[in-house]
Structure 1
Amino acid sequence: MLHHHHSATCQHHDEQSARELAASMLTRAREAGLRRTKALENVLSILVHSHQPLSLADIAESPDLTSGADKATVYRVLVKLEELALIRRLGLHDRSAYYTLLIPGRHDDYLICTQCGRIQRLDIACPVEALEKQIEHESGFKKLYHELEFYGLCPKCAD
């Protein structure tokens, strides 16, 4: 559980963890054949430091996008990262997409409002992890993963 009041030590640790994660994601992108560009570094850093999925506009208009990359360049970077399974695209097809990191050994499940498009992380223990282990055991498949999204009306739209 994250607390609203971080001590200086905790903030330093969070920032160090974020920097290490950004570096590791950049290494994975490079190993997958992406050229190391300032735009790539910026996009990964913005996603790492975000605690929620971000839209193309969120990333392209972020003050942390210091490379000066335009929206089309940011979009191309996101498409490449998604193709390499380094990020996950969320959302409804007829609405703007949101992007979040895919971190080995960790995942988040989401609730998506079909009316306003709001996306919210599901804050419960993943209901599918035990099933995933059973499927791995019974099928012989290894390194299984899943992406779980629930669709419905958020409390605001349901009123």
Structure 2
Amino acid sequence: MPNNLNQLIDHCRSEGLRRTKALEELLRTLLESDRPMTLAELTESPRLANQCDKATVFRLLQRLADKGILRRLGLHERAAYFALLLPNQHRDYLICTECGSIEPINAPCPVHELEKEIQFTTGYKNLYHELEFFGTCPTCSEQK
């Protein structure tokens, strides 16, 4: 899996996606973001606001998720967040159950060794995991 824009676009093309300006700008925006982004944030971003409409961005996100190029995060009743799946850049997340905000956890993932052991003992290939912690963020906790 790629970790720069050109490699990412090539990967998308190898998965059957057409290279469009909207796809390039969406990928560039997600690559440069330090956190997952919502559909609304993406469509309002300077790169995409004049490039395409919300429906186009949504369809691109769905295709990228279907191809395993990005990950959809969030609580079911809240807005979804989207983050690229990049090699050697595994991220786990904290999700607020009150406001729905999502932020990456800046700590070593405790599941990597378990993942290796499971892969070894079961014979599964391309094993990966997604780890999300749910709770109330400091801002929401202060408001109670």
Same fold per superposition (TM over 0.5): yes
Counterpart of 1:145 in structure 2 is 128
2:52 to 47, 59, 69: 69
Cα distance per residue 1:103-123 (max 9 Å; x no partner): 133310000000010111111
SS at match of 1:64: helix
Aligned-residue CA RMSD in angstroms? 1.3
Paired with 2:43 and 2:135, the residues of 1 have a C-alpha distance of 28
Judge conservation of contact 2:26–2:48 (CA < 8 Å) in 1: yes
Counterpart of 2:103 in structure 1 is 120
Cα distance per residue 1:85-133 (max 9 Å; x no partner): 1000111111111111001333100000000101111111001001001
SS at match of 2:109: coil
TM-score of the two chains, using structure 2 as the length reference: 0.92
Aligned length: 140
Gaps of 5+ in 1: 1-19
Gaps of 5+ in 2: none
Moved over 3 A (4+): none
Counterpart of 2:119 in structure 1 is 136
1:47 to 23, 30, 50: 30
Aligned pairs (5 A) from 1:26-105: 26-65=9-48, 68-105=51-88
Counterpart of 1:110 in structure 2 is 93
Deviation at 1:67, TM superposition (A): 5.8
TM-score of the two chains, using structure 1 as the length reference: 0.84
Judge conservation of contact 1:87–1:100 (CA < 8 Å) in 2: yes
Paired with 2:74 and 2:127, the residues of 1 have a C-alpha distance of 22
| Greater RCO (CA < 8 Å, at least 6 residues apart) | 2
Judge conservation of contact 2:94–2:102 (CA < 8 Å) in 1: yes
Deviation at 1:147, TM superposition (A): 0.7
Q: One-letter code of the match for 1:75? A: F
